[in-house]
Amino acid sequence: MLKDSDKSAPEGLWTNDHFNSLVPKTPIDRRSFIAAAIAAGFAVAAEPVLAQAIKTPMDGLEGGDAKVGDIPIYYAVKKGSGKRPVILVVPEVFGLHEYQKDICRRLAKAGYFGVTLDPFFRLGDLSKIADIKEVLAKANTLADQQAFADMDRVVDWAGKQKRANISKLGITGHCRGGRTVYMYTAHQPKIDAGVAWYGGLGTTPAQPLTPIDITDKINKPVLGLYAGADQGIPVEMIQRLEAGFKAFGKEKLCPIIVYPDVPHGFHADYRPSYRKEQAEDAWKKMLAWFKKNGVA
């Protein structure tokens, strides 16, 4: 992460005296952060999908797997006529697998045109790799510029669908996808609102900036949902993100909710980290956030 003394920091952020006065000074050791993230890791291919995993049926819905050029996507929307607000679902590091597809179906049942993609398709199917270290190593090579370009293509595709109302566009994502919610909202002016679930706050060579570094550039409402017992995202890092928004007067535009004593991945119902009560509460808050901010 950038430090106060880093002269290459984006203008108006780490060099801003007001911001510096709000940011905790204890440094975050990147190696320890990565080690903690791996310790909390879960490779989709290494563990059986738990029986608790939610399976939303396609009854009353239309959609399925498709492609935008060479980009694999999945979408779901209620059958019928009329356009529905669009929610772009950004996957975890495992890419496009059943969890993201089910989220699209859940959103469709709630009245949305849910669409997701595999940001990592050029790297292979990361959901089939059993070693979480290998998954992270591959995922960490995806540069934001490439990811954003692919997402832009999916947004353009959605804008041409007769059931999608792209003038009401939301975005949500979990873990790496949660980080991308913040980053893409700063990039894509068509986004109306976002909800980031435990979005990562670390860096890689291909992703040198974090949401903390671009709080001045996020000008649309984004709700952050974090876990108080997340081994990979210490509370101090969440406080840094909060401080960044506060420094630019955006604490109401981009509020953060921290659920105490729950682990990273508390919404991932196919994993042992799932916490039903908090996951359901956060889902309700997400839908309310989109409705409050015109994506409904």
**191-224 pLDDT per residue, tens:** 999 999 999 999 999 999 999 999 999 999 999 9
Q: Phi then psi for 20, rounded to 5 degrees?
A: -60, -30
Q: The domain spanning residue 278 has which CATH number?
A: 3.40.50.1820
**How far apart (Å, rounded) are the C-alpha atoms in residues 260 and 257?**
10
Mean pLDDT of the chain: 87
Any domain includes 203: yes
Any domain includes 8: no
Q: Kindly report the pTM of this predicted structure.
A: 0.87
Any domain includes 172: yes
The pLDDT confidence band at residue 52, using thresholds 50, 70 and 90, is confident
The pLDDT confidence band at residue 43, using thresholds 50, 70 and 90, is low
Q: What are the tens digits of pLDDT across the range 216-251? A: 999 999 999 999 999 999 999 999 999 999 999 999
The pLDDT confidence band at residue 289, using thresholds 50, 70 and 90, is very high
Any domain includes 9: no
Any domain includes 148: yes
Q: Given the DSSP bridges, would you call strands 84-90 and 164-174 parallel, antiparallel or unpaired? A: parallel
Q: What are the tens digits of pLDDT across the range 108-128? A: 999 999 999 999 999 999 999
Any domain includes 103: yes
For Cα atoms 57, 155, 164, give the angle at the middle one, nearest 5 degrees: 55
Structural domain for 114, as ranges = 17-47+60-292
Any domain includes 11: no
271: CB partners within 8 A, 6+ apart: 42, 47, 50, 265
Q: What percent of the chain has pLDDT over 70?
A: 83
How many structural domains does the chain have?
1
Active site residues: 175, 230, 264
Any domain includes 55: no
